[in-house]
Amino acid sequence: MKIKKTLVANFHGADVYKYSLIAHNGFQVDILNYGGIITGVWTPDNKGIFENIVLNYDDINNYIDNPPYLGAIIGRYAGRIGSGKFSIDGIDYQVSTNNSGHTLHGGYRGLDKQVFEVNVLPDGVKLSCISKELDEGFPGSIEFEISYRISDGYTLIIENIGTPSEKTLINLTNHSYFNLSGGKKLATSHQLMINSDKFCSVDSSCLCTGEVLDVSNTPFDFRKLKPIDRDINDAHQQLEIVGGGYDHPYILNTTTDIAAKLFDPISGRSLEVTTTSEALVLYSGNFLVPDKQVNGQHCLEKYFGICLETQNIPNAINVSSKFNQSIYNKDAPFSSKIIWVFQIK
């Protein structure tokens, strides 16, 4: 394989580079040192045509703010923390509230807006940065390392490590939006399987309540492949309160089998997701708005991309001791692995 480094922008005085990881068979993953953002995953369809199957902005400058978090590393904390409040060992903390009174994806300036140092690996790159004490109000400093490695098997492995100076919350994920058609149609036309019997309810602000619901006989049952849009318009309160679609954590049945599979019958492309995390948040792009151009002059719109965010259950520290509380320390650091395997049928 080869790795190509290209200067693509300068954000607030910092050079932004794109690292293209290119396998011998043409499989390619493009990553920015800003936010660890994946701007491209290039795979062939059933006719051998390579296309980018993740959403990316046509204008690189749109990544400076990036409200939908296209392709970004999410941290210090993926998902919402209710009212930005939590307690560790009896000490109360108040962190930034940047979304309907809650903390979303680490606050105003999370890892998605950091410029990372990059070390080139034989099969990929390793990104690193230090989140300082009280960044966005979170306790402790954290040394983060995120590695991206690819193979000729159309496989991307993402490994996340966070080593804190003291007890603190850490919950990382990747926020890529998949459209396996290459942007030719809405991603909700894809078929999806999630290896989960239960999901967590959310309230009208999309905050996880801790209530666990069974997927049986509901629009949330993806235990077998089915079109995402088959039940998306059903009159189910949990669909309606998140903008008409899915934005929910699924509790994975196991971390050894495939967590999820996404399939586009037209292109023949599929994605299999494996993870060490306990949950997967399915987000169907309900709040995407047509304000920017993506993927070669396509207009960003509702349901144009699907997120499969592997992580711990968000807001668990406030609502349920049954789940990983996402508390880590220097002797027990955070670590997670995400494996994406792309195939053609």
What are the pLDDT digits (tens) for 61-93? Answer: 999 999 999 999 999 999 999 999 999 999 999
- For 301-320, b/e burial (b = at least 16 CB within 10 A) is ebbbbbbbbbbbbbbbbbbb
Contact 134, 153 (CB under 8 A): no
- Give the pLDDT score at 255: 62
Taking only the tens place, the pLDDT of each residue in 151-169 is 989 999 999 999 999 999 9
Three-state secondary structure along 237-254? HHHHCCCCCCEEEEEECC
Q: What is the total count of domains within the chain?
A: 1
Q: Which of 102, 105, 175, 248 is catalytic?
A: 175
The letter for the amino acid at 121 is L
Alpha carbons 227 and 172: distance in angstroms, whole number: 28
Residues 216-224: what's their mean pLDDT?
Answer: 97
Q: How many Å is the Cα radius of gyration of the chain?
A: 19
Cα separation of the two ends of the chain: 24
Taking only the tens place, the pLDDT of each residue in 175-219 is 999 999 999 999 999 999 999 999 999 999 999 999 999 999 999
Domain that holds residue 298: 2-344
Lowest mean pLDDT among 16-20, 51-55, 253-257: 253-257
Residues 139-155: what's their mean pLDDT?
Answer: 97
CATH number of the CATH domain containing 125: 2.70.98.10
Local confidence band at 257 (pLDDT 50, 70, 90 cut-offs): confident
Residues 246-273: what's their mean pLDDT?
Answer: 94
Determine whether 190 is an active site residue: no
Residue with tokens 């369809």: 45
- Give the pLDDT score at 256: 67
Residues 50-69: what's their mean pLDDT?
Answer: 96
pLDDT surpassing 90 at residue 297:
no
The letter for the amino acid at 195 is N
Residues 54-61: what's their mean pLDDT?
Answer: 97
Alpha carbons 157 and 217: distance in angstroms, whole number: 34
pLDDT surpassing 90 at residue 125:
yes
Q: Which of 51, 136, 145, 309 is catalytic?
A: 309
Beta strands in 165-255 (DSSP E): 168-169, 173-174, 191-194, 196-202, 208-214, 226-227, 247-252
Determine whether 12 is an active site residue: no
